[in-house]
Amino acid sequence: MLRLGIDIDGTVTDPKTFVPYLNKSFKKSLTYNDLTEYDLTKVLNISEQGFWKWMDEFEPIIYKEAPLAPYAKEVLDEWKLQHQLYFISARREHLLDITYNWFKENEIYYHHIELIGHHNKLEAVKQNEISIFFEDKHDNACMISEEHDIPVILFNTPYNQEPIPKGVIRVNNWLEAKKWVNHWSDVKVL
C-alpha cells in the first residue's frame, strides 16, 4: 500500500478553473494556454498586494465551485481501496471548511487533508511519509523529488513547461498517472 501525496488545485481540480474568474475580474480574454506562468501577478501584470486582495475575495468562491480534473474521481475512487490518499495543499487554513465541503460534494475520498498555507511542501511530505507525490507546480515537483528521492507526477500545464529531473514524471491526465503508478507499484513489489 502506497501513501499518495496529492496537491489539490490544478491537480485534482481542473487547471483551467481560474480562467473565467480572472477574465471577469480583470476584464481580460485569457485562455488556459495564456497561463504560461504559475505566478498570476506576471500573467495579469498586477502587484502582489493587488493579487492577494483579489484572492481574499475570490479564493473561497473559486475553490467552492472548482470542477474536477478529467478522470480524477475515477482514478482516486479506484486507489482509495489500494492506497492511502493524503491531500497536501498550499491553500490557507481558513479555507479548510470549504475544502472539506468540496470533497464531500464531489464524493472524493481522503485519508487525510492538510492545508499548509504556503507552497513549500517538503516538511509535509516528510512528516506524512509520502511514497509518490502529485503536483502541478514545477518547482514543487522538482524540490520534492530531489529532496525526498520519491517519484513526483507532474500534471502537464502551460505554466510548468521547464525541464524536469529524472524523478519527475510528466503526465497529461489522471489516466496516464494511474498507468504510471500501477506499473511502478507492480515493479516495486517484484
Q: Is the pLDDT of residue 118 over 90?
A: no
Is pTM beyond 0.85 here? yes
pLDDT band at 190 (very low <50, low <70, confident <90, very high): very low
**pLDDT tens sequence across 124-144:** 999 999 999 999 999 999 999
- Whether pLDDT at 62 is above 80: yes
Whether the per-residue pLDDT at 41 is higher than 60: the answer is yes
- pLDDT the model gives residue 55: 95
Q: Are 88 and 125 in contact (CB under 8 A)?
A: yes
- Work out the percent of the chain whose per-residue pLDDT is above 70: 98
Q: What separation in angstroms does the CA of 15 have from each of 3, 18, 96, 185, 188?
A: 23, 7, 20, 27, 31
Q: How confident is the model at residue 189 (pLDDT cuts 50, 70, 90)?
A: low
Dump pLDDT digits (tens) for 150-166.
999 999 999 999 999 99
